[in-house]
Structure 1
Amino acid sequence: MAELLEPEAAYFGPGEGGQCCTFVFDMQDSPLLPTIAEPLFQKLGAKIEIQPVMNTEDMQKGLAALQKG
């Protein structure tokens, strides 16, 4: 999975009584989410939590669009 996501960082450790992995990656378009999540569900039976975040530049773009509207 890591090779598909090309993560900027990957962290491994305990979580919620089991094993946990956190990938930090740039998802260019939200419709890509099923192609990322489904293999983890189907092949690993993984529990997945997606937490979208943005960098400063993206936040500024979003706030500018909000002010225009």
Structure 2
Amino acid sequence: MTTMRTLIEIEMDTATANQAIADGTIEASMDKMMEMLKPEAAYFFARMGRRAALLVVDLPDEAAIVPTLEPAWLNLNADVTMTPCMNADELRTGLSRLNGS
């Protein structure tokens, strides 16, 4: 089965994230998303004063975008960007196809 490696960039609304931390729901949301997505890589940091995360995940198809985003990230009033991405080996394969090799 072919998957689509995808970079998910998340920036959480500060007030919403603060409330989720205060009421304890952010940990459950993060645990649920990490279990569902099983990211290849996950990094959490501050970006311009907002809580942010970068996740690299494999999505089975475009329709997977909806259940990937809806359950937790949008409930946190987060700005989310999804970008198809590749590793170095996949880039090499793609470049070789340009030359017909």
TM-score band, normalised by shorter chain: 0.7 to 0.9
Quote the residue 1:16 is aligned against: 48
1:17-64 deviation line (CA, Å, top 9, x unaligned) = 2010111111121110011111221x2121111121134447746x84
Answering whether residue 76 of structure 2 is matched by residue 44 of structure 1, we say: yes
Where does the alignment leave 5 or more consecutive residues of structure 1 unmatched?
none
TM value normalised by structure 2: 0.53
TM value normalised by structure 1: 0.72
With over 3 angstroms needed to count, the CA separation of the structure-2 counterparts of 1:59 and 1:35, relative to structure 1, is: farther
Number of aligned residue pairs: give it.
66
What is the CA distance between 1:14 and its match in structure 2? Answer: 0.8
What code does the residue aligned with 2:59 have?
A: M
CA distance in 2, matches of 1:36, 1:44: 14
Residue 42 of structure 2 aligns to a residue whose secondary structure is strand
Where does the alignment leave 5 or more consecutive residues of structure 2 unmatched?
1-32
User: Which of 26, 43, 52 is equivalent to 2:58?
Assistant: 26
Aligned-residue sequence identity (percent) comes to 34
What code does the residue aligned with 2:80 have?
A: I
Residue 31 of structure 1 aligns to a residue whose secondary structure is helix
